[in-house]
Amino acid sequence: MDAYFHALGTEIKMTGRMYERKVDSVFFGGGTPSFPPAQYITGAMDALRRAFDVQEDAEITLEANPCSLDAQKLREYRAAGINRLSIGLQAAQDRLLAMLGRQHTRGQFERAYGLAREAGFSNINIDVIYALPGQETTEWEDTLCFATEKEPEHVSAYALKIEPGTPLFRAVELGEAVPADEDTDLAMYHMAQDVLEGKDFTNYEVSNFAKEGFECRHNLKYWNVRDYLGLGAAAHSCMDHMRFSNTEDVEEYISNMKAGKLRYASSELVSEKDRKLEYIMLKLRLKNGFSFFDYKSRFNEIFPEAFSREMGRVVSLGLAETDGRGLYPTKRGFDLQNQLVSLLIQNL
């Protein structure tokens, strides 16, 4: 643990010298940063402030697991400057949590959430998952109600994707678990939209819902195709049209940093064509889509001219709308986002 955070500190110091940038958001994520003692997070924040120009009003998020939170830890996070928490509820039924292999229960989540509010966190996201094997629609509705009753500022609702190599994947292969069918998946997605929009959340991104002004500033950077710097093992970055990533091997990461070497496991300079593809693919995950003005400022071409046929097609198929100033996905465009993007980039 010490060695890892020491390495992280080294990387922060080195990259700080390379990129003299203002930082207005920080996100501790990618796994369970709430497991180690809070001092490590405090240390990392101190290092960041020393190396980068972290803005006064920066959004600083920490991903947290309900069973790793206690009052003391939460106080330390506050002191370190963390001002946004993302807590994984996943499901409000203990039987589904067990199936997902989660350590926490509904009760533990409730306790952790209460402590977070008491500690002064006024910007909290709750993560929930649907389309679980064997999940009843009523259970999903219950999860949504349970989550909204807590009155969080932000909810992320993800459809479960069963990844190869996971226990659930094997269970499906063995016939012990049956993945949700597409109709159920879609019905649950629409249910999430209905319930959350009914409570004044905006479905600002495919899977993300926020009260006004509480959209996640950090995550918006990905979808708005802005630069971001990933730090730590397996972290991905995109800076000045370069995409690069650190090794996933923690030991290798540590030894690289010990040697004072920024060595990337992958890196590519994104071509103009790929940048357009990424732009369309990411921007159309957002309810606000993109404006032709923004597109032109980046690529120096007029989108409706360059993509007139493709645009006509997605609009006529009801996947997107336009007001002449920009292109915006419809609800159906969210349901079928891959199709929407595929159609647009077909001739790119």
Partner 1 sequence: MKNEYQKNIRNFCIIAHIDHGKSTLADRLIEMTGTVAQRDIKEQLLDTMDLERERGITIKSQAVRMIYERGGTAYELNLIDTPGHVDFTYEVSRSLAACEGAVLVVDASQGIEAQTLANVYLAMDNDLEIIPVINKVDLPSARPDEIAKEIEDVLGLDASDAPRISAKSGENVGQVLDAIVDKLPAPSGDEDKPLKALVFDSYYDNYKGAISYVRLIDGCVKEGTKIRFMASGKVFDTTEVGAFAPELVPTKELKAGDVGYIAASIKNVADTRVGDTVTDDANPAKEALPGYKKITPMVYCGIYPADGAKYDDLRDALEKLQLNDASLLYDPEVSVALGFGFRCGFLGLLHMEIIQERLEREFDLDLVTTAPSVSYRVRMMSGEEIEIDNPTNLPDPSMIEYMEEPIAQVSVMTPDTYVGAVMELCQEKRGVFKNMEYIEATRVLLHYEIPLNEIIYDFFDNLKSRTRGYASMDYEVKGYAKSDLVKLDILLNGEMCDALSIIVHRDRAYGRGRSIAEKLKEVIPRQMFEIPIQAAIGGKIIARETVKALRKDVLAKCYGGDISRKKKLLEKQKEGKKRMRQVGSVEVPSEAFMSVLKMDK
CB of 58 to partner 1, least distance (A): 17
Q: Is 322 in the site for partner 1 (CB under 8 A)?
A: no
Cβ closest to partner 1, residue 42 vs residue 245: 245
Q: Is 219 in the site for partner 1 (CB under 8 A)?
A: yes
Q: Which two tokens stand for residue 215?
A: 């959209």
* Cα–Cα dist 295/303, whole Å: 7
Under 8 Å CB-to-CB from 240, ≥6 apart: which residues? 227
Q: Is 191 in the site for partner 1 (CB under 8 A)?
A: no
Cβ closest to partner 1, residue 39 vs residue 346: 346
Binding span for partner 1 by CB under 8 A among 69-77, 135-143, 236-244, 288-296: 236-244
DSSP of 233-287: TT-EEEETTEEEE--S-HHHHHHHHHTT----SEEEEPPHHHHHHHHHHHHTTBT
Cβ closest to partner 1, residue 82 vs residue 341: 341
Q: Which of 24, 211, 317, 331 binds partner 1 (CB under 8 A)?
A: 317
Residues 243-302 that bind partner 1 (CB under 8 A): 243, 245, 266, 268, 274, 277-278, 281-282, 285
Q: Is 307 in the site for partner 1 (CB under 8 A)?
A: no
Q: Which of 44, 80, 206, 231 binds partner 1 (CB under 8 A)?
A: 206
What torsion, rounded to 10 degrees, do the Cα atoms 206, 209, 213, 217 define?
A: -50
Under 8 Å CB-to-CB from 239, ≥6 apart: which residues? 19, 227, 228, 229
Q: Is 346 in the site for partner 1 (CB under 8 A)?
A: yes
Q: Is 238 in the site for partner 1 (CB under 8 A)?
A: yes
Q: Which DSSP state fits 179?
A: P
> In Å, how far are 27, 90, 94, 138 from 105, measured between CA atoms?
25, 10, 5, 19
Summarize the chain as % helix, strand, coil (round to 5): 45, 20, 35
> Which residues are near partner 1 by CB under 8 A?
30, 158-161, 182-183, 185-186, 189, 206-207, 219, 222-223, 228, 230, 234-238, 243, 245, 266, 268, 274, 277-278, 281-282, 285, 317, 334-339, 341-342, 345-346, 348
